[in-house]
Amino acid sequence: MENNSVGKNLIYHRKRKGYSQEDLSAQTEITVRTIQRIEKGAVNPHLQTVKMLAVALDIEVDELLNLQNPKEEAIQKKWLLLLHGTPLLGFILPFCNVLFPLFLWIHKRDDNVLYDRHGSKIINFHITVLILYALAFVALLTIENWGFIIFISVIPLFVLIVLANIVYAVKEHKCYYPLAIPFLKFKEDRMTKTLLYLFAVVALSNCTSQDTTRIVRLDESKISADSLKQKIQKAMVDADIPGMAVTIFNDNSPVFEQVFGYRDNLNKLPLTDSTNIYGASLSKAVFSVLVMDLVEDGVIDLDTPLESYLPKKIYEYEPQTRWHDDYSSLKKDSLYHKITARMCLAHTSGFPNWRTPQIELQTFHEPGKKHRYSGEGFVYLQVVLEKLTGKGLNELAIQRIFSPLGMSRSAFFWKPEYKENVAFGHDDRGNPYEKDIDNEPRGASTLETTAADYTKFLQGVLEQKIITKKSYNEIFSLQAKVTEPSSTYKGIVNRRIPFRDTDAGYGLGWGYLDTPYGIAVFKGGNGSGFQHYSVLFPEKKMGMMIMTNSNNGRSIFIELLRLCLKDHFSTMEVAVIQKAPPGLV
């Protein structure tokens, strides 16, 4: 790409938005120094950097790039060649001069405005050809001498026009079809598209195996499954992500379930929907439903201080695990006894995200007063529940979540049978991390699951299974607003990108967004080379799940959410935890 052109475009769009270089840096996490160098043309920015800048400026990537990607250029030429050339097959199969380009146009029109424009002109021309050929045949039968000349002239004339347009389209990305009757206009009405789509499907149903599923997005627009597959694969390759699973929900059910790439990039072992994947903080969404099921059974109340359920102080119990149920440091804490289940699930307990060897567990602020993301809060609630029920976390999850929803390859700890088909996390260069198989069950972070299993869980949430509508309403109500973009505590840095243009915060175990399409609830996961994100729009009966086994995963989440759902409301919750020991992130 041309450095000066990118820099000039960046300056123009930044100033048009009224952003300073410091404002843009805060939106993207790209340093001010890097932005300055890009604008001066001193560096050639990576494509992912350009994408991050485009998202922050709310523009398309092409508005920053002046030159075409050579690979993309070659792909466009291929599709234009097919669009303009396949009508010649009409000499072999009747009507295929219309049917073949019609099918290609339906398949590719959402990918690029160029395909939409050319496809509509090609179809118009070849429908006109059929009509004129029929009229020429009538002339042959009814007009002496001239009728024969008209009849034999039609086909050569149109073949020449087709051949000329093949060359013109490939060289100039333009086309010209004289005499064409405008049956179909560029950006034509939805009814015309629908009728042509049905016509093509019926006509070609016996000679093609293309997936013509149409996914409905939040704004009621639609996109084909084939188009999504190609765009997702391209984004994944551009971002150097070894493996990814994507599910899209319409009408509370999955309409698009695909896995891409490798579970082990080094050995090129394929990722499947039954591959076990470390879920990280996706665990919290499962745990919140489990807790509400126990609330419904009267085991616990959301607003009763947790310590009141136990016969002795939490710090008096002998630890049964290596660290997570060791609460000896709370003996000198004067605030923890106020913590309730609601505070734990809403991240207002006052506990840090995780304790470290340098920082012992303590409450940093009055419980219930403000939001502070905390895995420790979830584990504290888990430990109390285990003591109350006499059952371990995984046993409770099997009985109340996994078995009822058919999640046969999910657990809150590593199982030896997962070894034959397990995904490895990867660093930003695609190198695999060693698989951590030594975690003890924790409701905040240790879920082992699969793309198929977590899809079942999200579908169960959309269909309001396991717990009542009243309990889901409780989970999906705003409990704590997220107002602080960052907070620092003695070496642990939790940094979040501010939520934009919407009321945002946390419900019980799930993030909360107020959008024009009703509430959206989300949960992400990050750790050990895995990055995930899921979002549901219960009132629209829609949602999406993205699971990746790469530290690069988050870089394409916003792009995929906008592409697949037209979701412009989700903003990633980014946690950067420094100086924390392995296994605690």
pLDDT in tens, 196-252: 544 444 444 444 444 457 899 999 999 999 989 999 999 999 999 999 999 999 999
Helix/strand/coil for 386: helix
**By CB neighbour count within 10 A (0-12 exposed, 13-18 middle, 19+ buried), where does 169 fall?**
buried
pLDDT at 501: 43
Average pLDDT over the chain reads 85
| Strand duo 447-449 + 277-280: pairing | antiparallel
pLDDT above 70: percentage of residues in the chain:
86
Average pLDDT for residues 491-513, to the nearest whole number?
64
pLDDT at 428: 92
Tokens of 185: 């206009």
Average pLDDT for residues 390-394, to the nearest whole number?
97
**By CB neighbour count within 10 A (0-12 exposed, 13-18 middle, 19+ buried), where does 524 fall?**
buried
Average pLDDT for residues 87-116, to the nearest whole number?
80
Q: Which ranges constitute the DSSP H helices of 391-482?
A: 393-397, 403-405, 451-462, 469-475
Helix/strand/coil for 404: helix
Question: Does residue 531 surpass a pLDDT of 70?
Answer: yes
| Buried/exposed code over 180-205 (b: 16+ C-beta within 10 A; e: otherwise) | beeebeeeeeeeebeebbeebeebbe
pLDDT-derived band of residue 503, with 50, 70 and 90 as boundaries?
low
pLDDT at 484: 54
Tokens of 126: 């070849």
Helix then strand count (H, E) for the chain reads 18, 15
Which residue in this structure is represented by tokens 């729009």? 537
Task: Give 403 or 568, the one with higher predicted confidence.
Answer: 403
Question: Does residue 400 surpass a pLDDT of 90?
Answer: yes
pLDDT at 180: 86
- Please give the helix or strand (H or E) that residue 375 lies within, else none: helix 375-389
pLDDT-derived band of residue 483, with 50, 70 and 90 as boundaries?
low
Tokens of 132: 């004129």
pLDDT at 370: 92
Which amino acid belongs to residue 79? W
pLDDT at 3: 54
Whole-angstrom distance, CA of residue 220 vs CA of residue 394 = 40
pLDDT-derived band of residue 66, with 50, 70 and 90 as boundaries?
low
Question: Does residue 584 surpass a pLDDT of 50?
Answer: no
pLDDT above 90: percentage of residues in the chain:
54
| Strand duo 243-250 + 222-224: pairing | unpaired
Average pLDDT for residues 301-317, to the nearest whole number?
96
pLDDT at 307: 94
pLDDT at 212: 56
pLDDT-derived band of residue 72, with 50, 70 and 90 as boundaries?
low
Beta carbons of 496 and 482 less than 8 angstroms apart: yes
The contacts of residue 469 (CB under 8 Å, 6+ apart) are none
Whole-angstrom distance, CA of residue 308 vs CA of residue 419 = 42
pLDDT in tens, 248-302: 999 999 999 999 999 999 999 999 999 999 999 999 999 999 999 999 999 999 9
Average pLDDT for residues 554-569, to the nearest whole number?
92
Task: Give 253 or 584, the one with higher predicted confidence.
Answer: 253
The contacts of residue 351 (CB under 8 Å, 6+ apart) are 336, 339, 361, 362, 363, 364, 372, 374, 376, 377, 380
Which amino acid belongs to residue 226? D
pLDDT in tens, 443-458: 999 999 999 999 999 9
pLDDT in tens, 181-195: 887 754 444 444 444
Question: Does residue 379 surpass a pLDDT of 60?
Answer: yes
pLDDT at 245: 98
CA 99 from chain center: how many Å?
34
Question: Does residue 24 surpass a pLDDT of 60?
Answer: yes
pLDDT at 187: 45
Residues pairing with 253 in the sheet: 250
Of the candidates 359, 391, 361, which has an alpha carbon nearest to the alpha carbon of residue 376? Answer: 361
pLDDT at 4: 58
Beta carbons of 560 and 572 less than 8 angstroms apart: no
Instruction: Return the beta strands (E) in 202-307 as ranges.
Output: 214-216, 222-224, 243-250, 253-264, 269-270, 277-280
